[in-house]
Structure 1
Amino acid sequence: MDPTIGSAGIKAAGNISSTLLNRYRPVGVVRTGSTEDRAQAYRRFLDAATHGTLPSHWIRRLNNTSGTEGLTNHLLATQTEATTELICALDGIRLCAPDYVIAKAEDLMRVWAPNTEATQEEFPQILQATTNARMAFLDVARHDLNYEPKKWHLLARWKESRYLKKAKGASTQSVLGQ
């Protein structure tokens, strides 16, 4: 048997088997987007959640001040844009994220929703709850993207603890130097 014929046969068999494996799509298996797609969707959602909260705060502060109608109208338009962006970002997360990340994103939306109707007195509690929900979403997103260090990454954990000790020492030294 000629070696070129044998290698061509193996190559053809490899191409056929890889084609069959690539077509294999089991029914009922939940698919998520790629890591890059999910990271981009998570960033977009976190940005929209942050940008949607800030105009609400300033609208409440400027509402009782005379002569700020133009700025208030601009902030209302900004808040409307941010709300739209937040809803679109949530849809992006629903498209590519696993269920537990979607649940935390929807929790953040539930906490964020009363933001627009809150009074000046209620707003700090809603802002704190929104921040807590945003941090919970960030933790779940970091877990989904495998951004947290693993237990067996001893070198990374050692470098992190060394950096934190060094940073703490530098901040203590700067305070004492003042």
Structure 2
Amino acid sequence: MEPSSTVGVAVARSIGKIGSAALSRYKPVGVARVGSPEDRAQAYKRLLDALVHHQMAGQYANITAPRGVTDPLFVDAVNHLMTAGSELLAALAGVQLCAPGYVINTAQKAVDAAQSKEGDEGIKRYRMAQVAFLEAARYDLEYNAKRWQLWKKRKARKFAETTSSRP
């Protein structure tokens, strides 16, 4: 056997191993992994959308309730409320799948507040829980400025000052 052919076979095998290793680490673009920041952001957005949808459907059902349970508008409102409730619970399950514990706790509190029927006090509690969830999600996704990001903090402070000074 010639030494050059043995070296050629060894080179071909090593290139094949390198190529297969590179292909085995292939991750398609645009596919979110469970627990990745993109996946968590999608789950948080879905929960926020579901919270708003559920709240609006509940208000619509309350508005149409005096018409009677046989009224088609009330039946439609209850149907929307049931759909929004199932969408809300599915979105909560999505957050529970990929979020850390502190975000799951605030999400659960927001869902509990959205499903409570306490009038004006319940709406205030819902809004506070929704803001708490949004802050926890922003903290988890690291949207807030870090200590060393002085320029980003300055920009945020200037923006807050200009928007608060508007009439």
Report TM bin, short chain: 0.7 to 0.9
User: Could you tell me which residue of structure 2 aligns to residue 147 of structure 1?
Assistant: 143
Q: C-alpha displacement at 1:153, in angstroms?
A: 1.0
Inter-partner Cα distance in structure 2 for 1:93 and 1:123: 27
Structure 1 segment 150-169 matched on structure 2, within 5 A: 150-169=146-165
Gaps (5+ residues) in structure 1?
A: 23-31, 173-178
Gaps (5+ residues) in structure 2?
A: 1-6, 26-33
| Greater relative contact order structure (CA < 8 Å, 6+ sep) | 1
**Is 79-88 or 97-106 further displaced after alignment?**
97-106
Structure 1 segment 18-37 matched on structure 2, within 5 A: 33-37=35-39
Inter-partner Cα distance in structure 2 for 1:59 and 1:42: 26
**CA-to-partner distance for each residue in 1:20-42, whole Å, 9 max, x for gaps?**
xx8xxxxxxxxx61000000000
Inter-partner Cα distance in structure 2 for 1:62 and 1:124: 18
Give identity over the alignment, percent.
31
Q: C-alpha displacement at 1:53, in angstroms?
A: 1.0
**CA-to-partner distance for each residue in 1:32-85, whole Å, 9 max, x for gaps?**
61000000000000110111011212222222247x922222211111111111
> Residues 164, 136 of structure 1: CA spacing in aligned structure 2 closer, same or farther, 3 A cutoff?
closer
Q: C-alpha displacement at 1:104, in angstroms?
A: 1.4
User: Could you tell me which residue of structure 1 aligns to residue 71 of structure 2?
Assistant: 69
Q: Which amino acid aligns with 1:143?
A: Y
CA contact (8 A) 1:57 1:123 kept: no
Q: Which amino acid aligns with 1:83?
A: G
Counting matched residue pairs gives 146
Inter-partner Cα distance in structure 1 for 2:60 and 2:49: 18
Q: Which amino acid aligns with 1:157?
A: K
What is the TM-score when the length of structure 2 is the normalising length?
A: 0.73
What is the TM-score when the length of structure 1 is the normalising length?
A: 0.69
User: Could you tell me which residue of structure 1 aligns to residue 41 of structure 2?
Assistant: 39
> Residues 166, 106 of structure 1: CA spacing in aligned structure 2 closer, same or farther, 3 A cutoff?
closer
